[in-house]
Chain A
Amino acid sequence: MTYELIAFALFAFVTLASAIGVVLVQDPWHSALLLGVTLLSVAVYYVMLAAEFVAVMQVLVYVGGVLVLITFAVMLTRAERDEVVQT
């Protein structure tokens, strides 16, 4: 029973650390990657709370859909700004 508490504490640390990293890192692409870590670690709580279907939907919808859309936005809005910074 206490192993579940230890696992909760470890994954809570991972979730909070990566979420704070999302809002503090300057590069939007690194923020998107840290957001993926946050969303995947949130799925662990759903498995611990006996909501396996919601956990699978979390991984499919968020990591498979939302994160791809955010990657799309990051790649489309950042390419020319780097050129402006360099020139």
Chain B
Amino acid sequence: MSAVPIEYYVLLSMALFCVGLFGILTRRNALLFLMSVEIMLNAANVNLIAFAFYHGNLTGQVFALFTMALAAAEVAVGLGIIMVLYRNFRDVDVTVPSAMRW
């Protein structure tokens, strides 16, 4: 149906997801957590759209739209959490707060 086989899209999605997971596991900046989660959600979206195209229905595209709404809401909530973290600790390093009470 297309010139690009679906395996290439799955491989690209896998590589993109691994990059996002690497960013979450190695960086300590809370802002990089938000960006890495965005990268991982985009990797899942690429998979959903690729399978929707190769199966010939629109279910994957609807799922991808739900994922986008979820990502937008998640960034809005994460922004609030990061602002509170910065206000209380004067930093966005996620290793500085070690307890949920103070």
Contacts and interface: CB of A to CB of B under 8 A. Distances in A.
- B interface SS class: helix
Interface residues of A, number: 44
A57 B68 contact: yes
A40 to B, nearest CB: 11
B34 A23 contact: no
B34 A4 contact: no
Contact of B3 (A2, A31, A74, A84): A2
Interface in B22-73: 22-23, 26-27, 29, 31-32, 34-36, 38-39, 42, 45-46, 49-50, 52-53, 61, 64-65, 68-69, 71-72
Interface of A: 1-5, 8, 12, 15-16, 19-20, 22-23, 28, 31-32, 35, 38-39, 42, 45-46, 48-51, 53-54, 57-58, 61-62, 65-66, 69-70, 72-74, 76-77, 80-81, 84
Closest 8 CB pairs of A and B: A23-B23, A4-B3, A49-B53, A1-B3, A19-B19, A77-B86, A8-B4, A28-B31
Interface of B: 2-4, 8-9, 12, 15-16, 19-20, 22-23, 26-27, 29, 31-32, 34-36, 38-39, 42, 45-46, 49-50, 52-53, 61, 64-65, 68-69, 71-72, 75-76, 79, 82-83, 86, 90-92
